[in-house]
């Protein structure tokens, strides 16, 4: 049976209780009505700290509309029913997402990820509630060793949610895969239980079980180390413990290959791929190049942030690239034929960024008698 706000007229729901996109463990339970200030024996006013409800507060889920915090569904006996949440007032199953507990501290709302297991989330809520009740009663409590009891799964979930909000989708996917592999390899319950041998074992697991190449092993190992650093876990391994790889020379097109490619291009295709070749731009940098980025007088093109399209350069670094006169002339001719109402240099219908440069390149390679599997945009750089 789902709890509804009407059943608890004195409930204190989260600010975003009308969620419908995230999985937030938010149960509409009556929050304790507590005065904002309490006078201690010393006579010094102290602000009350309290858990927002008597169950884990929120579960963050993914819906068709995006991420949202949603109330959980309870059984008749008051237990959280795993994976069930209320989305716009209706029960829905969402196995994805993370449970959160929520409390007030010094007037501010605080939320803490407590993992994906409903029972464990409720256990952590009870521990925090007991701690805050002791503080409110003026009972001295010893400094908490809370960091040592942070669950590995909960910490990873919170780290990935922050990554998803602040990093690009490609970065998030790489982090998610690396940390999922780490959880498959390391079966420790708490973050502080992770040891040097777990990290060495992870490297071997990537190589032998997941058949990752040396560079991929290094990248995933580096992601795990970044995660542990964010948790305050440092100095577990020495420099010699890190996986190694051989830095390969970047592969580039030979002159004969370029001659064949450009000979097989249409006029439009030649402009596209000469732009990649003569600027050394990454694919998305070319996709999001505006006419305003090109300075024909100074023969330069700029890689710049496009907040109106939600795009930023790699590592958030803008840069200016000199271009040869041949490309300047070709771009001027290209601009004369372009839709003046669109700011993109290489748009598709509706002034949207062109997404299929690679497919187009492989089609040209096939016409040129080259092996399409050996033709990549990155080789122009």
* pLDDT single digits (tens) 217-230: 999 999 999 999 99
CB atoms within 10 A of CB 143: 5
End-of-domain residue from the set 144, 177, 201: 144
Residues 6 or more apart from 330 whose CB is under 8 A from it? 270, 271, 274
- pTM here is 0.53
| 223 and 270 share one domain | no
pLDDT score for 146: 54
Residue 178 has pLDDT above 80, yes or no: yes
Among 209, 241, 273, give the residue marking a domain's end.
241
pLDDT score recorded for residue 61: 75
Task: Look at residue 250 and tell me if it is in a domain.
Answer: no
State the pLDDT at residue 17: 30
Number of domains making up the chain: 3
- Separation between Cα atoms, residue 381 and residue 250, nearest integer Å: 9
Whether 170 and 60 share a structural domain: no
Statement to judge: residues 119 and 160 lie in one domain: no
Tell me the pLDDT band of 148, cut-offs 50, 70 and 90. Answer: low
d(CA 270, CA 262): 6
Q: Report DSSP state, residue 7.
A: G
pLDDT at 261 over 50: yes
Give the structural domain span for 233: 153-241
Please tell me whether residues 34 and 17 are part of one structural domain: yes
Asked if residue 32 lies in contact with residue 50, where contact means CB atoms within 8 angstroms, the answer is yes
Whether residue 281 sits in one domain with residue 230? no
Instruction: Say if residue 131 is in the same domain as residue 173.
Output: no
- Residue at 249 is within a domain: no
**Does 268 lie in the same domain as 310?**
yes
CATH value at residue 375:
1.10.443.10
Q: Do 35 and 72 belong to one domain?
A: yes
Task: Please say if the pLDDT value at position 22 is more than 90.
Answer: no
Domain assignment present for residue 246? The answer is: no
Q: Are residues 317 and 372 in the same domain?
A: yes
Q: What is the pLDDT of residue 335?
A: 95
Domain identity same for 217 and 301: no
Tokens 């449970």 belong to: 99
271: left (phi over 0), alpha (psi -120 to 50) or beta: alpha
């Amino acid at each position: 049976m789902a709890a509804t706000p009407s059943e608890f007229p004195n409930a204190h729901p989260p600010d975003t209780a009308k969620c419908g996109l995230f999985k937030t463990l938010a149960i509409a339970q009556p929050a304790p009505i507590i005065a904002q200030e309490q006078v201690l024996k010393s006579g010094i006013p102290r602000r009350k700290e309290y858990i927002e409800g008597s169950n884990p507060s929120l579960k963050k889920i993914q819906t068709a509309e995006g991420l949202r915090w949603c109330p959980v569904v309870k059984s008749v006996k008051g237990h959280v029913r795993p994976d069930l949440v209320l989305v716009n007032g209706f029960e829905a199953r969402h196995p994805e997402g993370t449970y959160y507990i929520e409390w007030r501290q010094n007037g501010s709302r605080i939320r803490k990820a407590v993992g994906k297991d409903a029972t464990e989330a409720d256990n952590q809520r009870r521990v925090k509630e007991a701690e805050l009740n002791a503080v409110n009663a003026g009972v001295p409590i010893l400094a908490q060793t809370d960091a040592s009891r942070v669950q590995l799964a909960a910490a990873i979930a919170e780290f990935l949610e922050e990554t998803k909000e602040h990093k690009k989708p490609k970065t998030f996917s790489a982090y998610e895969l690396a940390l999922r592999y780490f959880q498959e390899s390391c079966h420790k319950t708490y973050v502080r239980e992770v040891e040097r041998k777990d990290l060495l074992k992870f490297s071997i697991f990537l190589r032998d079980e997941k058949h990752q190449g040396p560079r991929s092993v290094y990248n995933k190992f580096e992601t795990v180390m970044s995660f542990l650093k964010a948790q305050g876990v440092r100095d577990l391994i020495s420099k010699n413990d890190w996986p190694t790889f051989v830095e390969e020379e970047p592969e580039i097109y030979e002159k004969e290959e370029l001659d064949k490619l450009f000979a097989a291009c249409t006029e439009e295709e030649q402009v596209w791929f000469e732009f990649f070749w003569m600027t050394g731009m990454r694919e998305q940098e070319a996709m999001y190049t505006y006419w305003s980025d090109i300075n024909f007088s100074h023969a330069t093109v700029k890689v710049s942030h496009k907040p109106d399209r939600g795009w930023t350069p790699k590592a958030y670094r803008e840069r200016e690239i000199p271009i040869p006169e041949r490309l300047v002339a070709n771009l001027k001719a290209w601009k004369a034929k372009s839709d003046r109402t669109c700011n993109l240099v290489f748009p598709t219908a509706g002034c949207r960024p062109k997404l299929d440069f690679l497919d187009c390149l492989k089609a040209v390679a096939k016409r040129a008698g080259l092996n399409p599997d050996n033709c990549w945009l990155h080789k122009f750089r």
